[in-house]
Chain A
Amino acid sequence: QKEVEQDPGPLSVPEGAIVSLNCTYSNSAFQYFMWYRQYSRKGPELLMYTYSSGNKEDGRFTAQVDKSSKYISLFIRDSQPSDSATYLCAMSASGNQFYFGTGTSLTVIP
């Protein structure tokens, strides 16, 4: 079993829709949770960082962590064509080594 599971998609939504991206994990020691956005032929860009459980909001983005279910989510409100990218979840127990999901490909259609 992989440490982190992420549905690869692809996910296609109309502009303005609410997007929900999810990851599950198996290691209960994970306590640092991140979401990255990666455009084609670019390196991943850190979007959101959350420590332990709870919600964090930044503009149109909301990250949720449910440690009891070993489940994390990223919500994108009022999605824009510029949000079209691959979204990667990542997590770490110690902060030294990070485990990534395989990424979900998102397309926002104008």
Chain B
Amino acid sequence: KAGVTQTPRYLIKTRGQQVTLSCSPISGHRSVSWYQQTPGQGLQFLFEYFSETQRNKGNFPGRFSGRQFSNSRSEMNVSTLELGDSALYLCASSPNYNEQFFGPGTRLTVL
């Protein structure tokens, strides 16, 4: 089975721009979660989607949004980028309530 894929792998943007990241979960997995990983804060939960519905949301501003499509693929969008948004953005898919499988991440740099 193919693993979780994320595109693009690297992005460089400037402050004020917006960005869209994409995630394709493992086939058959209906739950997709997004995380932000920074050296200081570790892995922080952004949101989780299940069957196209946002089921859980972390403590991030409204500039961070996401969606899930009928084929379980998911996108997250960050508008009005700030320097502090520079991070590794990880997507994880889950077949059940027990385990999450992570993709390689998208490394976003905001200049």
Contacts and interface: CB of A to CB of B under 8 A. Distances in A.
A102 interface: yes
Contact of A100 (B42, B98, B105): B42
Interface residues of A, number: 24
B98 A95 contact: yes
Looking at chain B's contact residues, the main secondary structure is: strand
Nearest to B107: A41
Interface residues of B, number: 27
Interface string B61-98: 00000000000000000000000000000100010111
Looking at chain A's contact residues, the main secondary structure is: strand
A90 B56 CA distance: 17
A100 B50 CA distance: 20
B42 A101 contact: yes
